[in-house]
Amino acid sequence: MADKLKAHPDAYKPLPDHDQNITVSKLKDLLPKKTNIAVTEEIVRLIHAAEEDTGLPQELFEEDVMSYMYLIGNTRGVGMKDLINAIKFCNLKRNYDNKEAWSIVFPEKYDRLVAGNKQVDNHVAMYNGSKLVAAIDKEMLIPVHLQYAPYFHAAVKKQFEIMNGKAEKTADGKEQSVSPMVQHLAAKELATLTRQPEESKLAITVNPGEAAISMQSEMNEQLKAIVAGQRQRLERGEDIIDVQQIGINFGEVGKER
């Protein structure tokens, strides 16, 4: 399994380089408060035997166990053994199909079902759809651009080699080169892959504050009152020159009265 995770020399899955020194007391300290879950030496043994039982990298598995302990308190009826099995299953699904992963986690149950000529797929589907497995799957979800970031480096490296005329060796180990057109296309693709990001302009919308809105509203009310007063004065026969002197005191607008 560890070999599968590091199948490409330029692509890797970062793994912890040391174990977590898991003990009964350490697991108990990580249990959510007000949970009454049994933690025994048998549970610790199951954790320490994960790589031997499943082929999963031991350090990664132990880190996952420590990280997902909080799910015990969030999912009713889930114990330590349930959590351990679900973490194994979710990790194995990255490199095997669901049925293969389930058979590795539950080998005795799988063999019993097969020997009895009973349906296995239903058990796998129900387990894969359980709340605990769904919760761990969600936690393990990694954006594609991050998950395959090392492959991006490998692609850039390969384009650079082709641009410089280097091709893969033939089946019998002989060196070979690529044509100028292939070199041109590789250079063009490399330029696209490594192009600097375009500058994005930041659009900012400024909304008026409450004070500004209040001031504008008050000014509008004053103007409405002035227009109404001017109309009345004109109807009474006053001179239009006098009526046009509106006399707004803008210094008073917005002040508390």
Q: What is the pLDDT of residues 131-186, one digit of tens each?
A: 999 999 988 886 666 656 777 888 888 888 888 888 888 888 888 888 888 888 88
Alpha helices in 116-178 (DSSP H): 121-128, 131-140, 144-147, 149-163
Q: Assess contact for 19 and 62: CB atoms under 8 A.
A: yes
- The residue assigned the tokens 């299953």 is 89
- Write down how long the chain is: 257
Q: For residue 167, what are its two tokens?
A: 């091709």
In the chain, domain spans:
2-141, 147-193, 210-252
Of the listed ranges 85-94, 137-146, 198-207, the least confidently predicted one is 198-207
Whether 204 contacts 242, CB under 8 Å: no
Answering whether pTM is above 0.85, one says no
Whether the pLDDT of residue 48 is over 90: the answer is: yes
- Spatial contact of 93 and 83, defined as CB atoms under 8 Å apart: no
Looking at the predicted structure, is the pLDDT value of residue 251 above 60? no
* Three-state secondary-structure class, residue 251: helix
Q: Is 111 a residue whose pLDDT tops 80?
A: yes
Nearest alpha carbon to residue 214 among 256, 247, 183: 256
> Quick one: which of 56, 52, 48 has its CA closest to 19?
48
